[in-house]
Amino acid sequence: MKRAMACSLSLLALAAALAAQENLGRGRITGQVVDEAGAGIPGVAVTAQIVPGTTTLEGRTDKKGHFAVAGLGSGTWRVSAAKEGYVGAYTELPVSQLKTNPPITLTMKRVAAAAAASGADEKAAFILERGGELLGQERYDEALAAFEEFAAAYPAVYGVRLNIATVHMKKGDLERAEAEFRGVLEKAAADGGDASRARETSLRALSGLGEAALLRNDLDAAQAAFRRALEISPEDAAAAFNVGEIFFSNQRVDEAVAYFEMAAKIKPEWPKPYHRIGLAYLNKGDFDKALAGLRKFVELAPDDPQAESVRATIAAVEKMRK
């Protein structure tokens, strides 16, 4: 009995360790960053960030605008491009370690062109771009001043208030950040113009509210925000996974499993939810379902850095069942 108890505790400890190892692997993405005319843009900083999460990898375009970023684990990654004089661009895509990922193309607008499209003048657009650069440099007070200047001049471009909210959150002023995110949600709800823009803006605002709530350790508020994001975009596997992570970290395993399984159903080729499903059932002591989830993870991501540890966990669980 004591031996079985010790083995179970060891498996739970291993599960916690596995959960901490994430995101890096053998995946590779390639692509090109171009301007509106289709010409490659050299010297663009390209950043890949796991979604959800904070792991980032970086690259830079060559003289023809081509880039490659290696070392990515299986899952959804946000790939963004940034260069002074251009408005940033990004896309999200699933990354595989088992096969070649299709190349991507990011199109960046020059500041002047983007300014004309939004009704802003070149000077104001430059201020907006400069604010983004200052934010990236962690010069928060200066970034906030730039974004506020733009917002005052062009109140109809309400999306800039997401930037303002982000700065407040970086500064630790969560109350003001949340107020800004809520204000953006109200503006998006009343936006009778571009529906897709309003939807994307709402998703970003709700994600921001969820992150701010997590920083306040208010799990209920975080869950509510991410659930609303799922209502807007029910096919968003990353949002479902994110809700599952919140429940799992709060020891609400049954609810976590439901969202991890939802993420797996939305995107069945994504290994990460199966890993979490396995760990959750391991936590519950349901070894059959734990094995099913962990085996599926290894099947989809046999070369993942965590795969060897997961295989060891599978072997240990199988030994216990004998």
For 226-252, what is each residue's pLDDT tens digit?
888 888 878 878 778 888 888 887 788
User: Between 65 and 55, where is the model more confident?
Assistant: 65
Question: What is the structure's pLDDT at 21?
Answer: 44
pTM over 0.85: no
Position 9 pLDDT exceeds 60: no
pLDDT grade for 151, boundaries at 50, 70 and 90: confident
CATH code reported for the domain at 2-21+239-321? 1.25.40.10
Q: Which residues contact 228 (CB under 8 A, 6 or more apart)?
A: 206
Position 116 pLDDT exceeds 70: no
Give the residue-averaged pLDDT of 99-113.
79
Position 265 pLDDT exceeds 50: yes
User: Between 262 and 190, where is the model more confident?
Assistant: 262
Q: Please tell me the number of Cα atoms within 13 Å of 200 on its side-chain side.
A: 9
Long-range contacts of residues 40-45, Cβ cutoff 8 Å, at least 24 apart: 40/64, 40/65, 40/66, 41/65, 41/83, 41/86, 41/108, 43/83, 44/81, 44/82, 44/83, 44/86, 44/108, 45/81, 45/82, 45/83
Q: Contact 100/125 with Cβ under 8 angstroms?
A: no
Fold observed for domain 24-115: Immunoglobulin-like (2.60.40)
Q: Contact 71/24 with Cβ under 8 angstroms?
A: yes
Report the sign of the C-alpha dihedral through residues 116, 117, 120, 125, in that order: negative
288, 294, 317, 320 from 7: Cα distances, Å: 16, 18, 9, 8
For 218-230, what is each residue's pLDDT tens digit?
888 988 888 888 8
Q: Cite the residue boundaries of each domain of the chain with CATH code 2.60.40.10.
A: 24-115
DSSP letter (8 states) at residue 40: B
Q: Contact 300/98 with Cβ under 8 angstroms?
A: yes
Q: Cite the residue boundaries of each domain of the chain with CATH code 1.25.40.10.
A: 2-21+239-321
Question: In degrees rounded to 5, what are phi and psi of residue 196?
Answer: -65, -35
What is Dmax (Cα atoms) for the chain? 74
Q: Could you tell me what percent of the chain has a pLDDT over 70?
A: 84
pLDDT grade for 160, boundaries at 50, 70 and 90: confident
CA triple 239-180-166, angle to 5 deg: 65
